[in-house]
Amino acid sequence: MTTTHGVRPAPRARRAAAASGGTRPESPARGGRGATTVTSAGPSIGSRVLSLLSASWRPVAVLLVLFAAWWFVAWREMVPAYLIPSPGAVWQTMVDDWAMLLEHTWVTTMETIIGFVLAAVIGVATAVLLVYSKTAEKALYPLILFAQVIPKIAIAPILVVWFGFGLTPKIVLAVLIAFFPVVVSAVAGLRSVDPELLELSATMGASRWKTFRKIRFPGSLPQLMSGLKVAVTLAVVGAVVGEFVGADRGLGYILLLASGNLDAPLLFADLILMSMIGVVLFLLVEVLERVLIPWHASRRGNLALASS
């Protein structure tokens, strides 16, 4: 019998030996030739910071250009100061009146958040009713569209007469403005679910509630989150419009005072705070979207754009 040195046993022979109770074949040494190393570590903090900087430098650059143009126009006095104040005057106003501005900013923020949450809850519930009931859809959808096309500034005085000068008319107006995009996006999302998944769940005996909870609602989240991002910015508009008509607190009230007194620095400071409320709430909804649907293609698309 001839023995060949330096030749490893065949894999089948080694498996047979192991199955028969023989010595288990040795695996390749860790780090040696033939070893395979699998790493599952996620992206590091440094890579996330670089991705964030790569995605945000463009809007920051645009803002810097606009700020430079604003400063140049004010410095050269191309426009009277009571129309376009200098950035320094606006900043000084925000510093001097920060306590008053903070109080009114908080009022507008609360009106916006409450109106947005109510619009989201009522809008999603209405969308579910429209999707699951053809009768409700035929009866309610035209009325919802009709209510949307009515100018909300025309409804604001009626709300003040009905509910007074407190927070209620501002919240109701914010709900009315933010309600429509939530309904439309939720209906589109609930109807975009793959019919084969619905048929499969019905075949397996799943109830309508379980199908909604496991299939329909998760599948509608991408469209619903897009509608919520639109609605949260419109809720700010609704709260401010309500403050225009009748209020003694809020950024809309301060805006009317500054406009009547031709106080351009206070007017610009008020507008900046309004914009900051909308941007912060939009970013919060964006974070919620990342938490709820990290698997969606839109999230992967954002990462691809950020790294390009």
pLDDT, tens digit (0-9, with 9 covering 90-100), for 181-235: 999 999 998 888 777 777 777 777 777 788 787 888 888 888 899 999 999 999 9
Whether the Cβ atoms of residue 256 and residue 244 lie closer than 8 Å to each other? yes
User: What is the pLDDT, as a whole number, of residue 47?
Assistant: 67
Grade residue 155 by pLDDT with cuts at 50, 70 and 90.
Answer: confident
Residues 6+ away with beta carbon under 8 Å from 184: 227
Residue 126 pLDDT greater than 90, yes or no: yes
Please check whether residue 235 lies inside any domain of the structure: yes
Structure tokens at 202: 């019905």
User: What is the pLDDT, as a whole number, of residue 53?
Assistant: 64
Grade residue 85 by pLDDT with cuts at 50, 70 and 90.
Answer: confident
Of 244, 269, 254, the closest CA to residue 160 belongs to: 244
Rounded-to-integer distance, Cα 87 and Cα 153, Å? 31
Grade residue 75 by pLDDT with cuts at 50, 70 and 90.
Answer: confident
Whether the Cβ atoms of residue 43 and residue 303 lie closer than 8 Å to each other? no
What is the rounded average pLDDT for all residues in the chain? 79
Rounded-to-integer distance, Cα 186 and Cα 24, Å? 58
Structure tokens at 10: 């065949």
For the chain, the domain total comes to: 1
For 235-270, the pLDDT digits (tens) are: 999 999 888 887 788 898 899 888 888 888 899 999
Which sign, positive or negative, has the C-alpha torsion 111, 112, 118, 123? positive
User: What is the pLDDT, as a whole number, of residue 13?
Assistant: 43
CA atoms within 13 A on the CB side of 157: 2
Q: Which domain holds residue 199?
A: 85-297
Query: Residue 176 gets which letter from DSSP?
Result: H
Please check whether residue 237 lies inside any domain of the structure: yes
Please check whether residue 13 lies inside any domain of the structure: no
User: What is the pLDDT, as a whole number, of residue 45?
Assistant: 67
Of 242, 267, 265, the closest CA to residue 257 belongs to: 267
Rounded-to-integer distance, Cα 307 and Cα 73, Å? 36
Crossing angle for the helix pair 264-292 and 251-260, nearest 10 degrees?
Answer: 160
Residue 35 pLDDT greater than 70, yes or no: no
Q: Which residue has the higher pLDDT, 109 or 14?
A: 109
Rounded-to-integer distance, Cα 239 and Cα 172, Å? 9
Please check whether residue 21 lies inside any domain of the structure: no
- Given its phi and psi angles, is residue 250 left (phi above 0), alpha (psi -120 to 50 degrees) or beta? left
Please check whether residue 4 lies inside any domain of the structure: no
Grade residue 31 by pLDDT with cuts at 50, 70 and 90.
Answer: very low
Of 125, 152, 113, 106, the closest CA to residue 254 belongs to: 106
Please check whether residue 44 lies inside any domain of the structure: no
Residue 172 pLDDT greater than 80, yes or no: yes
Grade residue 5 by pLDDT with cuts at 50, 70 and 90.
Answer: very low
Structure tokens at 253: 């009230």
Please check whether residue 174 lies inside any domain of the structure: yes
User: What is the pLDDT, as a whole number, of residue 22?
Assistant: 45
Structure tokens at 273: 């705070």
Whether the Cβ atoms of residue 93 and residue 269 lie closer than 8 Å to each other? yes
**End-to-end CA separation in angstroms for the chain:** 65
CATH number (domain holding residue 226): 1.10.3720.10
Please check whether residue 257 lies inside any domain of the structure: yes
Rounded-to-integer distance, Cα 18 and Cα 206, Å? 46
